[in-house]
Amino acid sequence: MAFNRSHARGLCNVSELTLFESSVGAELASFTAAQLKAKIVRARNLRDKQQDLLRRQKLATRARTGTKVGVSGVANQRTEQKLKLFSEVLARFEARLAAVEAASARAAVRAAAASAKKAAKPAGGKPAAKKLKARGAGFVSAQARDTSNQMQLKKSRSKPIQAHLRSAGKRSQARRDSR
């Protein structure tokens, strides 16, 4: 059963109620990892306190009434409800802490990747040009030249003119044939 503010108000004192209210709503999203860890410690202490109290009450009821279960009617119902309430509060804080830590881990990975990418760039700030294999003195394959032209067109973001590339290829082929 998920507890709402009116249930919590009937069960908790003022300091416990502020902890419950900080675990629901928009306030939960604004906590840092350190604040969440402190809230987790407090919620865990309150949950453990209620758990111990419930155990002691059941033992006392068992000794008093002679039943094996240690529960008679609604004797320990309020303590059990508080135990469930603080278990829910603790679960919400732990889930939020896991989300915050996962987000910070993703940010750290992105920062590391960005710094590695920045370190891989040459000092001039431009990416290193690919060296083309030459099969002879000054020979560049038509495919490598076309790829270079296409890369230049992509960088300039202009629409490629197919006739221009075709005629450039024909002119360079004619130059090679005339040698």
Give the per-residue pLDDT at 37. 94
Query: Which helix (H) or strand (E) is 26 found in, with range?
Result: none
Give the per-residue pLDDT at 175. 84
DSSP 2: -
What is the per-residue burial (b if ≥16 Cβ within 10 Å, else e) of 97-114? beebeeeeeeeeeeeeee
| Whether the model pTM is above 0.95 | no
Cα–Cα distance measured from residue 24 to residue 5, given in angstroms and rounded to the nearest whole number: 9
Contacts of 140 (CB under 8 A, 6+ apart): 132, 134
Give the per-residue pLDDT at 142. 59
Stretches where the chain sits below pLDDT 70 are 1, 69-73, 121-165
**Cα–Cα nearest to 49, from 89, 92, 79, 4:** 79
Give the per-residue pLDDT at 44. 95
By CB neighbour count within 10 A (0-12 exposed, 13-18 middle, 19+ buried), where does 125 fall? exposed
Give the per-residue pLDDT at 134. 45
Give the per-residue pLDDT at 85. 93
Polymer length in residues for the chain: 179
Query: Which helix (H) or strand (E) is 134 found in, with range?
Result: none
Long-range contacts of 64-72 (CB under 8 A, 24+ apart): none
